Amino acid sequence: MTSAILPTYARYQLAFDRGEGAWLITASGDKYLDFGGGIAVASLGYNHPHLVDALIQQAQKLWHTSNLFQIPLGEAFARRLVDATFADNVFFTNSGAEALELTIKMARKWNSANGAPERFHIITFEGAFHGRTLATIAAGGNAKYLDGFGPKMPGFDQVPFGDLDAVKAAIGPQTGAILVEPIQGEGGIRVGAPDFIRGLRALCDEHKLLLCFDEVQCGMGRTGKFFAYELYGVAPDILASAKGIGGGFPLGAVLSTAEAGKGMGLGTHGTTYGGNPLAMACGNAVLDILLAPGFLNDVARKGLLLRQSLAGLAAEHPDVIAEIRGEGLMQGIKLRVPNADFASAARAEKLIVIPAADNVVRIIPPLIVSEDEIREGVRRLGAACAHFEVAATPKGKLGANS
């Protein structure tokens, strides 16, 4: 059958009918251990009873009213986010790209409100991914995503990730903010060094710039902290969140200090669906689990188990694995074989991993994954490595077992 869907995805020949915990299940009953989490979205896994119950209860009452009216669930959700973070204000969106669009707008508006509208430039970083809108592909700077869409939106000055001297050199009279993923996801699980992230904060303070964090992928408990900025001992002025915040329901949020948000007055931004009752019920349910006593500590503990297990795997398969990198339940395997081929080999072992840049596959399972499932997943990764092992033949020639 010819698909009626616009052909922008190279989809695998695999479809799932249902899910349970960290497992995805096909219509024929084949079970796959999901170490991709819907690209870090399924924070509570699949069919989590608390999330399902919250969704059903709200669906039976009210799905949508619009932001013309008060939405008590949204007020409660925003207050919980503020109380748990650096932020004073929250704006709800439907996606990560929308959250980044508002982050960019908010940074520009802040400078304009301070009497410096010419300071609309934002320093961004090579390897970044901030979304697929015209503004966010310009911020990310990836030529592949920019090609064919006309002139690149101005106002983004890109420098190498981790290079504080390059950031200093890029700051000029038009610079108003710095936008960074503390841990790059699509870029290959590249972790910002503490001195680098803290250095960005110091530069922003020195030059009166806004520090903006994209935590769409690394936030919401993924690293063992509620948000990754907590790993560094510094806070941003604006933070974009999405993916795991809704546990699979489309939801994003922008968190900001009162100062950073001061330019966003009545009518400066809006959304039809963002923050509607159904989304807010799901978001609150996710927070019920993530902020429960001990949950994030448990994620951190499981992240350490995963990291140690992957390090052992790398030692066993040095011809396949070049490096392990990441934090918590956000790990990357940099490979010596093509990452798309490795992901295919993993699927043959009924394990889902997600390719990223720099020839990396991401290991980003649901936060509720068990220790036994982590061990089983690493065992299956080992089996995937075996697809590429090189062994000597009786005649001394080399051949790949694939």
Q: How far apart are alpha carbons 399 and 89 in whole angstroms?
A: 59
Structure tokens at 9: 């995805």
DSSP 153: P
Query: Which residue carries 């001992």 as its tokens?
Result: 233
Would the CA dihedral through 190, 191, 196, 201 be positive or negative?
positive
The pLDDT of residue 389 is 85
φ, ψ for residue 290 (rounded to 5)? Answer: -60, -35
Q: What is the pLDDT of residue 394?
A: 44
Backbone angles phi, psi at 21, to 5 degrees: 65, -120
Amino acid letter, residue 399: G
Instruction: Look at residue 398 in the predicted model and tell me its pLDDT.
Output: 42
Q: CB under 8 Å to 98, separation ≥6 — which residues?
A: 131, 252, 271, 274
Neighbours of 257 (CB within 10 A): 17
DSSP string, 136-167: HHHHH--HHHHTTSSSPPS-EEEE-TT-HHHH
> Closest Cα to residue 128, out of 38, 177, 220, 190?
190
Q: How is residue 142 written in tokens?
A: 């990836």
pTM: 0.95
Largest CA distance in the chain: 78
Q: What is the mean pLDDT of each run of 10 residues along the chain (402 residues)?
A: 90 96 98 97 98 98 95 98 98 98 98 97 98 97 95 97 98 98 97 98 98 98 98 98 97 98 95 96 98 98 98 97 98 98 98 98 98 98 91 40 38
User: Phi and psi at residue 325, in whole multiples of 5°?
Assistant: -145, 150
> For residues 330 and 346, what is the distance between their CA atoms, to the nearest angstrom?
18
Residue 324 forms beta bridges with which residues? 333
Other C-beta atoms within 10 Å of 371: how many? Answer: 13
Residue written as token pair 């520090």:
211
Supply the pLDDT for residue 2. Answer: 85
- With both helix axes pointing from N to C terminus, report the angle between 277-290 and 295-316 in degrees, rounded to the nearest 10: 70
B/e letters for 324-351, b = 16+ CB within 10 Å, e = fewer, are: bbbbbbbbbbbbebebeebbebbbebeb
Q: What is the DSSP string of 224-254?
A: SSSSGGGGTT---SEEEE-GGGGBTB--EEE
